[in-house]
């Protein structure tokens, strides 16, 4: 490289880097010896602006951001100047990560080891840290019920803007929504907490503890046990109800009349049940109601028959030793009549019956119908003793009234109340019969009860029916087989 000039000195510019020597040639064309060597360094390099790389924004847990800067001088050291806060960072290498950037807009210049400074980089915008939501606030907890196996909880204090996600722990279970509160349902038995993640992806600390109890046990339907129906003497029935909760107390409800019974233990007997069809439910200590039991039917009380009616009484007679009575008002379908005091029974149908063969005494009757119900005692039927039959009469025959006539006197029985007749004659109160003709006769005696007795037949033989004429003269021979002598009057035959 030649330079022409005048004067004793000259400034040479534009010398490339390297080691150089110079000679000078004057106007005469004479050239000097070589000068000392001149070393020209390489030219200084102005670094390029730092290149903006990955920008890491503040996170839910980290309040500052960072940026990766590249394109830095690869040799030597450098110094970065950050604006607007004029923070410097020194280092080496072609890239660096600048951390701890508060929310702002930054640019960077780099100065190399030669002191050369680049132009400003592009802007680095660090956003504000995303807000971390507060823990959800546990509100009203609804426990499982007898009919619903799961519980629920009201969570409030949720992010007012944007969409959020609730996460249950232990899970699984997430819910996405908006608004400041939410009722979370379908929670099985367990202990839970919730966190909420907002639209920035920031998650709160856990909520308070939520305890969901086990579902109350619903009791089984009561079991119908022994059923006692109304009886002839008891108007109501009873039923044994079993299968009730073994622990705690319970309330048994009877339908259709909705009568409640409180108690404990696995069974109870419900009495005083009027005729109807019943079912039962049981409610345990947890307030859970069973389904209805099987139905139980209490029948109407069997009808007790009316008291038998004592009708016509036939008393014993002189010839019949026993009496009878007509008993009416009996159940027409069938019955058993019981006689007291003997306890004899008679079964039959129809509304009346005649009871015969009754010896002297006082009788009452009850009637038992086909349902087994027995009436009250009837009034008394009094059967008298059989009227006494008088003893067979004994008579005396006296022929004082002449031939063919006699006086017959009943010598027994005698006394007040007796009447007598001979043969088929009329009864008389006198026990003496006059002018009884010869022949066979019977005497009948009747007492005051009307009972009669007839004695053995007897013979009246009082001489001729036509006695001889009186004569004062002795006559030999016989009349009617009798020898006559001189008599003043007929003599009595003996």
| Radius of gyration, CA atoms only, the chain | 75
Residue 481: the pLDDT is 36
Residues in Cβ contact with 412 at an 8 Å cutoff, skipping those fewer than 6 apart: 391, 393, 394
Structure tokens at 216: 């109350």
Report if residue 247 sits inside a domain: yes
Report if residue 250 sits inside a domain: yes
262 in the same domain as 321: no
Residue 334: the pLDDT is 96
65 in the same domain as 109: yes
- Summarize the confidence of residues 36-49 as an average pLDDT: 81
Look over the chain and give the mean of its residue pLDDT values, rounded to a whole number: 90
Report if residue 476 sits inside a domain: no
318 in the same domain as 289: no
CATH number for 450: 2.60.40
Answer with the one of 98, 126, 154 that is the final residue of a domain. 126
Checking if the pLDDT of 476 tops 60, the result is no
Query: Across the chain, which distance is largest between two alpha carbons, in Å?
Result: 273
Complete DSSP assignment for 404-430: TEEEEEEEES-STT-EEEETT---BS-
pLDDT tens across 146-202, in order?
A: 999 999 999 999 999 999 999 999 988 899 999 999 999 999 999 999 999 999 999
445 in the same domain as 403: yes
Residue 116: the pLDDT is 95
Provide the domain count of the chain.
6
pLDDT tens across 81-124, in order?
A: 999 999 999 999 999 999 999 999 999 999 999 999 999 999 99
159 in the same domain as 186: yes
Q: Closest Cα partner for 395 from 366, 362, 431, 341? A: 431
Report if residue 342 sits inside a domain: yes
Checking if the pLDDT of 127 tops 90, the result is yes
Q: Is 171 left (phi over 0), alpha (psi -120 to 50) or beta?
A: beta
Answer with the one of 126, 155, 190 that is the final residue of a domain. 126
119 in the same domain as 86: yes
The residue segments making up the domain with residue 25 are 1-43
Report if residue 470 sits inside a domain: no
pLDDT tens across 299-340, in order?
A: 999 999 999 999 999 999 999 999 999 999 999 999 999 999
Report if residue 178 sits inside a domain: yes
141 in the same domain as 112: no
pLDDT tens across 235-262, in order?
A: 999 999 999 999 999 999 999 999 999 9
328 in the same domain as 293: no
Checking if the pLDDT of 66 tops 90, the result is yes
What whole-number distance in Å separates Cα of residue 266 and Cα of residue 243?
5
59 in the same domain as 36: no
Token match 């009972």: residue? Answer: 451
**5 or 184, greater pLDDT:** 184
Report if residue 410 sits inside a domain: yes
Residue 33: pLDDT band by 50, 70, 90 thresholds?
confident
Identify the DSSP state of 204: P
Checking if the pLDDT of 12 tops 80, the result is no
What whole-number distance in Å separates Cα of residue 373 and Cα of residue 305?
7
pLDDT tens across 337-395, in order?
A: 999 999 999 999 999 999 999 999 999 999 999 999 999 999 999 999 999 999 999 99
82 in the same domain as 18: no
What whole-number distance in Å separates Cα of residue 180 and Cα of residue 202?
16
Residue 8: pLDDT band by 50, 70, 90 thresholds?
confident
Answer with the one of 348, 383, 418 that is the final residue of a domain. 383
Q: Closest Cα partner for 374 from 328, 335, 327? A: 335
116 in the same domain as 59: yes
412 in the same domain as 347: no
**Three-class SS state of 269:** strand
Residue 466: the pLDDT is 52
Global confidence as pTM: 0.57
Complete DSSP assignment for 422-476: ETT---BS-SEEEEEESEEE-EEEE-TTS-EEE---EEE--S-SSPPPP-SS---
Token match 């503890």: residue? Answer: 209
Q: What are phi and psi of 32, to 5 degrees?
A: -80, 170
Residue 35: pLDDT band by 50, 70, 90 thresholds?
confident
């Amino acid at each position: 490289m030649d330079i022409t000039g005048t004067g004793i000195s000259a400034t040479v510019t534009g010398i490339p880097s390297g080691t150089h020597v110079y000679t000078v040639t004057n106007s005469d064309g004479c050239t000097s010896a070589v000068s000392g060597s001149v070393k020209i360094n390489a030219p200084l390099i102005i670094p390029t602006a730092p290149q903006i790389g990955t920008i890491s924004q503040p996170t839910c847990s980290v309040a500052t951001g960072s940026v990766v800067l590249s394109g830095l001088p690869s040799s030597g050291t450098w110094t970065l100047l950050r604006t607007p806060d004029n923070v410097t960072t020194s280092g080496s290498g072609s890239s660096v990560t600048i951390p701890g950037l508060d929310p702002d807009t930054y640019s960077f210049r780099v100065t190399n080891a030669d002191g050369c400074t680049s132009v400003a980089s592009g802007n680095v915008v660090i956003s504000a840290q995303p807000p971390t939501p507060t823990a959800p606030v546990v509100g009203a907890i609804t426990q499982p019920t007898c009919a619903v196996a799961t519980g629920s909880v009201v969570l409030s204090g949720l992010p007012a803007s944007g969409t959020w996600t609730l996460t249950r722990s232990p899970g699984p279970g997430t819910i996405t929504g908006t608004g400041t509160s939410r009722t979370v349902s379908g929670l099985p038995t367990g202990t839970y907490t919730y966190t909420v993640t907002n639209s920035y992806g920031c998650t709160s600390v856990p909520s308070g503890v939520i305890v969901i109890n086990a579902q109350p046990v619903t009791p089984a339907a009561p079991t119908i046990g022994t059923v006692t129906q109304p009886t002839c003497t008891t108007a109501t029935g009873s039923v044994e109800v079993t299968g009730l909760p073994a622990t705690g107390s319970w309330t048994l409800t009877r339908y259709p009349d909705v009568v409640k019974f409180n108690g404990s233990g696995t069974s109870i007997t419900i009495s005083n049940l009027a005729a109807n069809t019943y079912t039962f439910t049981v409610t345990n200590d947890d307030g859970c109601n069973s389904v209805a039991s099987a139905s139980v039917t209490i029948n109407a009380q069997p009808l007790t028959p009316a008291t038998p009616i004592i009708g016509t009484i036939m008393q014993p007679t002189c010839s019949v030793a026993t009496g009878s009575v007509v008993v009416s008002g009996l159940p027409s379908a069938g019955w058993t009549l019981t006689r007291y005091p003997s306890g004899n029974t008679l079964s039959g149908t129809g509304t009346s019956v005649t009871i015969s063969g009754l010896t002297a005494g006082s009788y009452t009757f009850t009637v038992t119908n086909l349902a087994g119900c027995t009436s009250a005692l009837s009034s008394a039927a009094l059967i008298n003793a059989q009227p006494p039959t008088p003893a067979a009469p004994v008579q005396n025959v006296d022929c004082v009234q002449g031939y063919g006539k006699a006086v017959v006197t009943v010598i027994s029985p005698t006394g007040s109340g007796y009447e007598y007749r001979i043969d088929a004659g009329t009864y008389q109160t006198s026990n003496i019969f006059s002018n009884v003709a010869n022949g066979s006769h019977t005497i009948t005696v009747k007492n005051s009860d009307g009972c009669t007795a007839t004695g053995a037949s007897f013979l009246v033989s009082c001489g001729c029916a036509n006695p001889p004429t009186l004569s004062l003269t002795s006559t030999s021979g016989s009349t009617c087989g009798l020898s006559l002598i001189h008599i003043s009057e007929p003599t009595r035959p003996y």
